[in-house]
Structure 1
Amino acid sequence: MVVAYKLSNGLEVILENGDITKVEADAIVNAANSYLSHGGGVALAIVRSGGYIIQEESDEYVRRNGPVPVGEVAVTTAGKLKARYVIHAVGPRYGIEGDDKLESAIRRSLEKADELKLSSIALPAISTGIYGYPYEICARIMSKVMKEYKPKFLKRILVVVYGDQAYSVFKKVFDNSLYMN
Protein backbone atom coordinates (compact mmCIF):
# COMPACT_ATOMS: atom_id res chain seq x y z
CA MET A 1 0.00 0.00 0.00
CA VAL A 2 1.52 3.25 -1.20
CA VAL A 3 0.07 6.71 -1.73
CA ALA A 4 1.85 9.88 -2.91
CA TYR A 5 1.25 13.55 -2.14
CA LYS A 6 2.81 16.58 -3.85
CA LEU A 7 3.25 19.56 -1.54
CA SER A 8 3.32 23.23 -2.50
CA ASN A 9 6.90 23.50 -1.19
CA GLY A 10 8.01 21.04 -3.89
CA LEU A 11 8.31 17.99 -1.65
CA GLU A 12 6.89 14.67 -2.72
CA VAL A 13 5.59 12.68 0.25
CA ILE A 14 5.08 8.96 -0.15
CA LEU A 15 3.20 7.05 2.54
CA GLU A 16 4.02 3.37 2.65
CA ASN A 17 3.13 0.43 4.88
CA GLY A 18 6.26 -1.65 5.13
CA ASP A 19 9.76 -2.24 6.40
CA ILE A 20 11.82 0.95 6.61
CA THR A 21 15.04 -1.05 6.37
CA LYS A 22 14.12 -2.13 2.83
CA VAL A 23 13.28 1.24 1.29
CA GLU A 24 15.53 3.13 -1.09
CA ALA A 25 16.35 6.55 0.32
CA ASP A 26 19.53 8.53 0.90
CA ALA A 27 18.86 8.43 4.65
CA ILE A 28 16.69 6.40 6.96
CA VAL A 29 15.49 7.98 10.18
CA ASN A 30 15.72 5.85 13.27
CA ALA A 31 13.36 6.43 16.19
CA ALA A 32 16.09 6.52 18.82
CA ASN A 33 16.59 7.04 22.52
CA SER A 34 19.03 9.62 23.90
CA TYR A 35 21.78 7.03 24.42
CA LEU A 36 21.39 5.61 20.91
CA SER A 37 20.98 2.13 22.39
CA HIS A 38 19.21 0.34 19.59
CA GLY A 39 17.58 -2.47 21.56
CA GLY A 40 14.06 -2.66 20.17
CA GLY A 41 11.52 -1.57 17.59
CA VAL A 42 12.67 0.32 14.50
CA ALA A 43 16.10 0.87 16.04
CA LEU A 44 16.80 -2.83 16.47
CA ALA A 45 15.48 -3.62 12.99
CA ILE A 46 17.86 -1.03 11.51
CA VAL A 47 20.87 -2.48 13.33
CA ARG A 48 19.91 -6.04 12.41
CA SER A 49 19.58 -5.13 8.74
CA GLY A 50 22.43 -2.64 8.51
CA GLY A 51 24.91 -4.38 10.76
CA TYR A 52 26.42 -3.78 14.18
CA ILE A 53 28.59 -0.97 12.78
CA ILE A 54 25.55 1.29 13.24
CA GLN A 55 25.47 0.53 16.97
CA GLU A 56 29.25 0.93 17.23
CA GLU A 57 29.12 4.35 15.56
CA SER A 58 26.18 5.32 17.79
CA ASP A 59 28.12 4.32 20.91
CA GLU A 60 31.09 6.35 19.72
CA TYR A 61 28.86 9.36 19.04
CA VAL A 62 27.48 9.25 22.60
CA ARG A 63 30.99 8.78 24.06
CA ARG A 64 32.21 11.89 22.23
CA ASN A 65 29.12 14.12 22.47
CA GLY A 66 27.02 12.82 25.34
CA PRO A 67 23.38 11.77 25.11
CA VAL A 68 21.32 13.22 22.27
CA PRO A 69 18.69 15.62 23.66
CA VAL A 70 15.03 14.85 23.07
CA GLY A 71 13.99 16.52 19.82
CA GLU A 72 17.49 16.39 18.34
CA VAL A 73 19.32 14.07 15.95
CA ALA A 74 22.64 12.30 15.44
CA VAL A 75 24.00 10.74 12.24
CA THR A 76 25.83 7.50 11.51
CA THR A 77 26.57 5.62 8.34
CA ALA A 78 24.00 3.05 7.27
CA GLY A 79 26.14 -0.06 7.20
CA LYS A 80 24.68 -2.61 4.78
CA LEU A 81 21.39 -0.73 4.29
CA LYS A 82 20.57 0.75 0.89
CA ALA A 83 20.71 4.21 2.47
CA ARG A 84 23.92 6.18 2.93
CA TYR A 85 23.08 7.48 6.40
CA VAL A 86 20.96 6.76 9.43
CA ILE A 87 19.62 9.88 11.11
CA HIS A 88 18.85 8.97 14.71
CA ALA A 89 15.96 11.18 15.87
CA VAL A 90 15.23 11.21 19.59
CA GLY A 91 11.50 11.58 19.97
CA PRO A 92 9.56 12.37 23.12
CA ARG A 93 7.66 10.07 25.44
CA TYR A 94 3.93 10.74 25.18
CA GLY A 95 2.58 12.66 28.14
CA ILE A 96 6.06 13.40 29.50
CA GLU A 97 7.81 15.55 26.93
CA GLY A 98 5.70 17.82 24.74
CA ASP A 99 4.53 17.68 21.14
CA ASP A 100 7.06 20.42 20.38
CA LYS A 101 9.81 17.83 20.92
CA LEU A 102 8.25 15.50 18.35
CA GLU A 103 7.93 18.40 15.93
CA SER A 104 11.58 19.22 16.55
CA ALA A 105 12.75 15.62 16.00
CA ILE A 106 10.96 15.49 12.66
CA ARG A 107 12.11 18.95 11.55
CA ARG A 108 15.72 18.31 12.64
CA SER A 109 15.69 15.07 10.62
CA LEU A 110 14.69 16.99 7.49
CA GLU A 111 17.22 19.73 8.22
CA LYS A 112 19.99 17.17 8.70
CA ALA A 113 19.12 15.57 5.36
CA ASP A 114 19.44 18.99 3.73
CA GLU A 115 22.74 19.66 5.54
CA LEU A 116 24.01 16.39 4.06
CA LYS A 117 22.70 17.47 0.63
CA LEU A 118 20.40 14.45 0.37
CA SER A 119 17.42 14.29 -1.95
CA SER A 120 15.41 11.61 -0.13
CA ILE A 121 14.70 10.52 3.42
CA ALA A 122 12.59 7.76 4.99
CA LEU A 123 10.76 8.60 8.22
CA PRO A 124 9.13 6.12 10.59
CA ALA A 125 6.25 7.01 12.91
CA ILE A 126 8.61 8.49 15.52
CA SER A 127 7.63 7.95 19.17
CA THR A 128 4.59 5.77 18.38
CA GLY A 129 6.15 2.56 19.66
CA ILE A 130 7.35 2.18 23.22
CA TYR A 131 7.13 5.97 23.72
CA GLY A 132 3.35 5.73 23.34
CA TYR A 133 2.46 8.53 20.94
CA PRO A 134 -0.90 7.98 19.24
CA TYR A 135 -0.59 7.55 15.48
CA GLU A 136 -2.99 10.41 14.82
CA ILE A 137 -0.98 12.96 16.79
CA CYS A 138 2.28 11.84 15.20
CA ALA A 139 0.74 12.01 11.73
CA ARG A 140 -0.68 15.50 12.33
CA ILE A 141 2.65 16.80 13.60
CA MET A 142 4.55 15.15 10.75
CA SER A 143 2.12 16.61 8.22
CA LYS A 144 2.52 20.10 9.68
CA VAL A 145 6.33 19.91 9.64
CA MET A 146 6.46 18.60 6.07
CA LYS A 147 4.09 21.31 4.79
CA GLU A 148 6.00 24.12 6.53
CA TYR A 149 9.47 22.87 5.65
CA LYS A 150 11.51 24.82 3.10
CA PRO A 151 13.72 22.23 1.39
CA LYS A 152 17.10 23.03 -0.11
CA PHE A 153 18.14 19.65 -1.54
CA LEU A 154 15.44 17.37 -0.18
CA LYS A 155 12.85 16.34 -2.76
CA ARG A 156 11.22 13.16 -1.46
CA ILE A 157 10.06 12.04 1.97
CA LEU A 158 9.01 8.44 2.40
CA VAL A 159 6.86 8.01 5.49
CA VAL A 160 7.16 4.31 6.24
CA VAL A 161 4.78 2.98 8.87
CA TYR A 162 4.42 -0.59 10.04
CA GLY A 163 1.02 -2.22 10.16
CA ASP A 164 -2.44 -1.68 8.74
CA GLN A 165 -3.69 0.38 11.69
CA ALA A 166 -0.80 2.84 11.49
CA TYR A 167 -1.15 3.09 7.71
CA SER A 168 -4.89 3.71 7.93
CA VAL A 169 -4.51 6.50 10.50
CA PHE A 170 -1.62 8.19 8.68
CA LYS A 171 -3.46 7.98 5.35
CA LYS A 172 -6.58 9.56 6.83
CA VAL A 173 -4.59 12.41 8.40
CA PHE A 174 -2.45 12.94 5.29
CA ASP A 175 -5.49 12.82 2.97
CA ASN A 176 -7.10 15.57 5.06
CA SER A 177 -4.02 17.74 5.48
CA LEU A 178 -1.60 17.17 2.61
CA TYR A 179 -4.14 17.28 -0.21
CA MET A 180 -5.24 20.71 0.96
CA ASN A 181 -2.06 22.67 0.34
Structure 2
Amino acid sequence: MRVTDDGGLTATDTATVTIVNVAPVATFDAPASSPAGFPFTLSLTSAHDPSAADTSAGLEYAFDCGDGYGAFGGSASASCPTTDVGVTSVGGKIRDKDGGVSEYRGSVSVVVVTFSSLCDLVRAYSTDPKVADDLCDKLERAATAPTAGGREGLLAAFVGQVGAKTDKGLTPAQAAELTLLAARL
Protein backbone atom coordinates (compact mmCIF):
# COMPACT_ATOMS: atom_id res chain seq x y z
CA MET A 1 0.00 0.00 0.00
CA ARG A 2 1.31 3.47 -0.84
CA VAL A 3 0.03 6.66 0.81
CA THR A 4 0.84 10.27 -0.18
CA ASP A 5 -0.04 13.26 1.99
CA ASP A 6 -0.86 16.84 0.88
CA GLY A 7 2.81 17.82 1.23
CA GLY A 8 3.92 15.17 -1.25
CA LEU A 9 5.48 12.84 1.31
CA THR A 10 4.85 9.17 0.63
CA ALA A 11 5.04 6.04 2.65
CA THR A 12 4.77 2.41 1.54
CA ASP A 13 3.82 -0.61 3.60
CA THR A 14 2.50 -4.10 2.99
CA ALA A 15 -0.33 -5.95 4.66
CA THR A 16 -1.91 -9.33 4.23
CA VAL A 17 -5.64 -9.27 3.64
CA THR A 18 -7.64 -12.47 3.86
CA ILE A 19 -10.87 -12.53 1.90
CA VAL A 20 -13.33 -15.15 3.07
CA ASN A 21 -16.10 -16.45 0.86
CA VAL A 22 -19.55 -15.99 2.35
CA ALA A 23 -21.87 -18.89 1.57
CA PRO A 24 -25.18 -18.21 -0.16
CA VAL A 25 -28.42 -18.43 1.83
CA ALA A 26 -31.97 -19.47 1.00
CA THR A 27 -35.26 -20.39 2.63
CA PHE A 28 -35.78 -24.16 2.94
CA ASP A 29 -39.32 -25.28 2.23
CA ALA A 30 -40.53 -28.78 3.17
CA PRO A 31 -44.09 -29.83 3.95
CA ALA A 32 -44.87 -30.80 7.53
CA SER A 33 -46.62 -33.93 6.27
CA SER A 34 -47.37 -35.90 3.12
CA PRO A 35 -49.65 -38.87 2.43
CA ALA A 36 -47.91 -42.21 2.00
CA GLY A 37 -47.43 -43.19 -1.62
CA PHE A 38 -47.43 -39.65 -2.98
CA PRO A 39 -44.32 -37.54 -3.61
CA PHE A 40 -43.63 -34.30 -1.78
CA THR A 41 -41.50 -31.36 -2.91
CA LEU A 42 -38.46 -29.82 -1.23
CA SER A 43 -37.27 -26.40 -2.36
CA LEU A 44 -34.79 -23.65 -1.61
CA THR A 45 -36.37 -20.25 -2.33
CA SER A 46 -35.29 -16.61 -2.01
CA ALA A 47 -31.68 -17.60 -2.74
CA HIS A 48 -29.11 -14.87 -2.13
CA ASP A 49 -25.34 -14.60 -2.32
CA PRO A 50 -23.55 -11.38 -1.26
CA SER A 51 -21.23 -11.73 -4.27
CA ALA A 52 -22.75 -10.51 -7.54
CA ALA A 53 -20.16 -12.62 -9.38
CA ASP A 54 -21.33 -15.77 -7.57
CA THR A 55 -24.95 -14.94 -8.28
CA SER A 56 -24.20 -14.28 -11.97
CA ALA A 57 -22.31 -17.58 -12.24
CA GLY A 58 -25.37 -19.39 -10.93
CA LEU A 59 -26.04 -21.11 -7.64
CA GLU A 60 -26.36 -24.88 -7.32
CA TYR A 61 -28.67 -26.97 -5.17
CA ALA A 62 -28.70 -30.49 -3.73
CA PHE A 63 -31.47 -32.26 -1.83
CA ASP A 64 -31.77 -35.14 0.62
CA CYS A 65 -35.15 -36.89 0.39
CA GLY A 66 -34.26 -39.12 3.33
CA ASP A 67 -31.73 -41.35 1.61
CA GLY A 68 -28.73 -39.02 1.35
CA TYR A 69 -27.92 -36.01 -0.79
CA GLY A 70 -28.07 -36.17 -4.55
CA ALA A 71 -25.62 -34.33 -6.80
CA PHE A 72 -25.60 -30.54 -6.99
CA GLY A 73 -27.49 -29.09 -9.94
CA GLY A 74 -29.34 -26.04 -11.19
CA SER A 75 -32.84 -26.95 -9.97
CA ALA A 76 -33.98 -25.24 -6.77
CA SER A 77 -36.51 -28.00 -6.00
CA ALA A 78 -36.76 -31.78 -5.87
CA SER A 79 -39.63 -34.26 -5.83
CA CYS A 80 -39.27 -36.91 -3.13
CA PRO A 81 -41.07 -40.27 -3.33
CA THR A 82 -42.75 -41.88 -0.33
CA THR A 83 -43.28 -45.60 0.06
CA ASP A 84 -44.19 -46.06 3.72
CA VAL A 85 -45.35 -44.16 6.78
CA GLY A 86 -43.06 -42.52 9.34
CA VAL A 87 -40.94 -39.43 9.85
CA THR A 88 -38.37 -38.74 7.13
CA SER A 89 -35.34 -36.52 7.77
CA VAL A 90 -34.81 -34.24 4.75
CA GLY A 91 -32.44 -31.49 3.73
CA GLY A 92 -31.29 -28.99 1.17
CA LYS A 93 -27.95 -27.38 0.32
CA ILE A 94 -27.11 -24.29 -1.73
CA ARG A 95 -23.60 -23.75 -3.14
CA ASP A 96 -21.84 -20.89 -4.94
CA LYS A 97 -19.07 -21.09 -7.55
CA ASP A 98 -16.41 -20.66 -4.86
CA GLY A 99 -17.61 -23.69 -2.91
CA GLY A 100 -19.47 -21.83 -0.16
CA VAL A 101 -22.32 -24.06 1.07
CA SER A 102 -25.27 -23.53 3.41
CA GLU A 103 -27.25 -26.55 4.59
CA TYR A 104 -30.80 -26.71 5.90
CA ARG A 105 -32.52 -29.69 7.59
CA GLY A 106 -36.10 -30.60 8.39
CA SER A 107 -38.47 -33.53 8.66
CA VAL A 108 -41.59 -34.65 6.85
CA SER A 109 -44.16 -36.87 8.51
CA VAL A 110 -45.38 -39.39 5.95
CA VAL A 111 -48.87 -39.99 7.26
CA VAL A 112 -50.97 -43.10 7.48
CA VAL A 113 -52.64 -44.20 4.32
CA THR A 114 -56.44 -44.10 4.11
CA PHE A 115 -58.72 -46.13 1.89
CA SER A 116 -59.34 -42.99 -0.17
CA SER A 117 -55.66 -42.06 -0.53
CA LEU A 118 -54.79 -45.65 -1.50
CA CYS A 119 -57.50 -45.54 -4.19
CA ASP A 120 -56.03 -42.26 -5.46
CA LEU A 121 -52.62 -43.93 -5.65
CA VAL A 122 -54.09 -46.91 -7.53
CA ARG A 123 -55.59 -44.51 -10.09
CA ALA A 124 -52.26 -42.69 -10.43
CA TYR A 125 -50.37 -45.95 -11.01
CA SER A 126 -52.73 -48.09 -13.07
CA THR A 127 -52.55 -47.88 -16.86
CA ASP A 128 -55.96 -49.60 -17.12
CA PRO A 129 -58.96 -47.61 -15.81
CA LYS A 130 -61.04 -50.80 -15.42
CA VAL A 131 -58.41 -52.37 -13.17
CA ALA A 132 -58.24 -49.14 -11.14
CA ASP A 133 -62.04 -49.15 -10.79
CA ASP A 134 -62.03 -52.81 -9.64
CA LEU A 135 -59.26 -52.20 -7.10
CA CYS A 136 -60.90 -49.02 -5.77
CA ASP A 137 -64.22 -50.86 -5.47
CA LYS A 138 -62.53 -53.44 -3.22
CA LEU A 139 -61.07 -50.64 -1.11
CA GLU A 140 -64.40 -48.81 -0.84
CA ARG A 141 -66.18 -52.00 0.22
CA ALA A 142 -63.41 -52.81 2.73
CA ALA A 143 -63.73 -49.31 4.22
CA THR A 144 -67.42 -49.89 4.94
CA ALA A 145 -67.30 -53.60 5.76
CA PRO A 146 -69.46 -54.31 8.82
CA THR A 147 -66.95 -56.79 10.30
CA ALA A 148 -63.20 -56.99 10.68
CA GLY A 149 -63.24 -60.34 8.88
CA GLY A 150 -65.09 -58.84 5.93
CA ARG A 151 -62.62 -56.00 5.78
CA GLU A 152 -59.63 -58.35 5.92
CA GLY A 153 -61.12 -60.52 3.18
CA LEU A 154 -61.64 -57.55 0.87
CA LEU A 155 -58.12 -56.27 1.55
CA ALA A 156 -56.76 -59.76 0.79
CA ALA A 157 -58.69 -59.69 -2.50
CA PHE A 158 -57.22 -56.26 -3.23
CA VAL A 159 -53.68 -57.52 -2.57
CA GLY A 160 -54.32 -60.61 -4.70
CA GLN A 161 -55.54 -58.53 -7.63
CA VAL A 162 -52.57 -56.16 -7.27
CA GLY A 163 -50.27 -59.19 -7.45
CA ALA A 164 -52.09 -60.49 -10.52
CA LYS A 165 -51.65 -57.14 -12.28
CA THR A 166 -47.90 -56.91 -11.64
CA ASP A 167 -46.24 -56.38 -15.04
CA LYS A 168 -49.75 -56.09 -16.53
CA GLY A 169 -50.57 -52.48 -15.74
CA LEU A 170 -48.57 -52.09 -12.52
CA THR A 171 -44.81 -52.19 -12.20
CA PRO A 172 -43.35 -54.55 -9.59
CA ALA A 173 -42.33 -51.53 -7.47
CA GLN A 174 -45.84 -50.05 -7.67
CA ALA A 175 -47.42 -53.40 -6.76
CA ALA A 176 -45.07 -53.81 -3.79
CA GLU A 177 -45.89 -50.30 -2.56
CA LEU A 178 -49.66 -50.82 -2.90
CA THR A 179 -49.39 -54.13 -1.03
CA LEU A 180 -47.33 -52.55 1.78
CA LEU A 181 -49.70 -49.61 2.14
CA ALA A 182 -52.77 -51.87 2.12
CA ALA A 183 -51.24 -53.67 5.11
CA ARG A 184 -51.17 -50.30 6.93
CA LEU A 185 -54.97 -49.90 6.70
TM-score (norm 1): 0.23
TM-score norm. by structure 2 comes to 0.23
Relative contact order, CA 8 A, sep 6+: which one is greater? 1
Larger relative helix fraction: 1
